[in-house]
Copies of this chain bind each other. A is one copy, B any other.
Amino acid sequence: MGIIVQKYGGTSVGTIAKIKNVAKKILAAKAAGDQVVAVVSAMGQTTDALIAKIKKLAPLSAPREYDALVSIGENESAALLAQAILAQGGQAVSLTGWQAGIRTEDNHSKCKIIDVDARRIRQELNAGKIVVVAGFQGINSSGDVTTIGRGGSDTSAVVLAAALEARVCEIYTDVDGVYTADPRALPEARRLTAISHEEMLELASLGAGVMHPRAVECAKVNNMTLAVKHSQKTGKGTLITMAGEKLNTVAGVAADDNVAKIGLMRVPDAPGVAAELFGALAAARINVDVIVQSIHQEARKNDISFTVANEDYDRALKLTKEKARSWPGCAAAGNTAVAKISVVGIGMASSPGVAARMFAALGRAKINIQMISTSEIKISCIIEKKELKRALKAVHAAFGLASVKKAGSCGI
């Protein structure tokens, strides 16, 4: 046996009763012979409540104090979970991010983990203890508490698993695995037994909220197998692993309605123009997703369209309009009534016709495609927001993802 790292999200430790269940699960893993490190998020809505308090003091809070404040939700759940394990007769110790040796960049909120000094964790494991680590947080070179962005407990777990050379990192959550589509939106969606890091990465960044993309990226870089499981049920869950022999042609379909579109007409066709626009957006920390550039009917002019998350839309549109004013004849406009539907599959690159099949499915459903973006393992279409649910159903069916017969072929 070896070391396993288990991560429990906010809903998994949302109540005292759930914390007791989680303690039971951890003790079972320990009894099976592994050394166990459990990484926890804050209980349910704790972090949101803390954020609400600091916002009442200042709409734009100071990042250092913001981190000092919002990190305490994880300290709470870690101490409670360790106590629950002790109460059930196990040996346990809770560690904050700094006690666990999680060292981050110096900046605050959304900073990255630099490395882990795992001496304290190893010492506690070797003393026979289950180590419960507060996720989402670390310490910087000034000795200040930092946080690594919302959903960051996934990343904490993967980084610790890599540092401890754990044999597996289990992500316990409120769903029982990764599905071919969001089962709340599409009841016929099917749980995948396995998926590659790359596919999961695309699905995660597409809004299939099972895991934080940075955590998947980190697992991929470290060759770490992840197992996504339900925290309050038993079940095999979904393995996220290096791509093996059998490749999913299409692993899943993701529907994302947190999308807004911005279009520019008659942008000068000159070197550096796109860099100027997207550089300004990046400087404002606005993430741009799909970008499409096409030649405008006038000579030496282009049209550029791109999408951003809804929460960045107002700022992005303002910035884009400012840029547009500096280019003669250029005009910018936005539209929030759009959504994105994507198919993801690592076998796509070697299976021609996936894009055609997706476009055909949307066409049969009379759904107009506004923008298309493709990568090696993903095809995304921007469509009207009100068509999203029908599009999901149509595309999911077109790739036969719900059928039992197909299930085997989705194994990697």
The stretch of A55-63, A213-221, A259-267 in contact with B is A55-63
In the complex, A110 has a CB within 8 A of chain B: no
Taking A62-B83, A82-B65, A83-B62 as contacts, is the C-beta distance between A16 and B57 under 8 angstroms? yes
Nearest-Cβ distance from residue A272 to partner chain B, whole angstroms: 38
The reply to whether B53 and A65 contact each other, CB–CB distance below 8 Å, is no
The reply to whether B75 and A19 form a contact with Cβ atoms under 8 Å apart is no
- A68 touching B75 by the CB < 8 A rule? yes
Partner of A57 from B58, B61, B80, B93 at Cβ < 8 Å = B80
A79 touches B75 (CB 8 A): no
User: A68 near B61 (CB under 8 angstroms)?
Assistant: no
Asked whether A323 is an interface residue with its Cβ less than 8 Å from the other chain, the reply is no
Q: Is the CB of A87 within 8 A of B57?
A: yes
* A231 on the B face (CB < 8 A): no
A312: interface (CB < 8 Å): no
Q: Is A367 positioned at the interface, with any CB of B under 8 Å from its CB?
A: no
The residue among A65, A92, A120 with the most chain B CB atoms within 10 A of its own CB is A65
- Closest chain-B Cβ to A131's Cβ sits at a distance in Å of 13
Whether B83 contacts A79 by the Cβ 8 Å rule is no
A99 surroundings in chain B (CB, below 8 A)? 143-144
**Contact partner of A80 among B69, B120, B143, B145, CB < 8 A?**
B69
Copies in the complex: 2
Closest partner residue, chain B, to A73 (CB atom): B72
- Whether A79 contacts B87 in the complex (CB less than 8 A), given A56-B16, A120-B143, A143-B99, comes out as no
Q: How far is the CA of A94 from the CA of B87 in the complex (A)?
A: 34
User: What residues of chain B lie closer than 8 Å to A188, measured between beta carbons?
Assistant: none
Q: Which residues of B contact A20 (CB under 8 A)?
A: 57
Q: Mark A43-81, 1 if CB is under 8 A from B, else 0.
A: 000000010011011100110111011001001101110
Contact among B69, B76, B80, B96 for A83, CB-based, below 8 A: B69
A57 and B19 contact, CB distance less than 8 A: yes
Segment 20-60 of A: residues with Cβ below 8 Å from B: 20, 50, 53-54, 56-58
Interface of A: prevailing SS? helix
Decide if A58 touches B76 in the complex (CB within 8 Å): no
Whether A65 pairs with B50 at a CB distance below 8 angstroms is: no
Return chain B residues, CB-CB under 8 Å to A68: 75, 78-79, 82, 94, 96
How far apart are the CA atoms of A89 and B20 in the complex, in Å? 45
Give the residues from 351 to 393 in chain A that come closer than 8 angstroms, CB to CB, to chain B: none
Residues of B within 8 A of A75 (CB): 68-69, 72, 75
Cβ of A87 to closest chain B Cβ, rounded Å: 4
Cβ contacts under 8 Å, A62 to chain B: 82-83, 86
Q: How far is the CA of A80 from the CA of B20 in the complex (A)?
A: 31
**10 A-B pairs with least C-beta separation:** A69-B79, A58-B87, A68-B79, A72-B72, A65-B83, A16-B56, A57-B83, A65-B79, A57-B84, A65-B82
Given contact pairs A16-B53, A65-B86, A66-B83, enumerate 18 new A-B contacts (beta carbons under 8 Å).
Answer: A16-B56, A19-B57, A54-B80, A57-B83, A58-B86, A58-B87, A65-B79, A65-B83, A65-B92, A65-B94, A68-B94, A69-B76, A69-B79, A69-B80, A72-B79, A96-B145, A99-B144, A120-B143
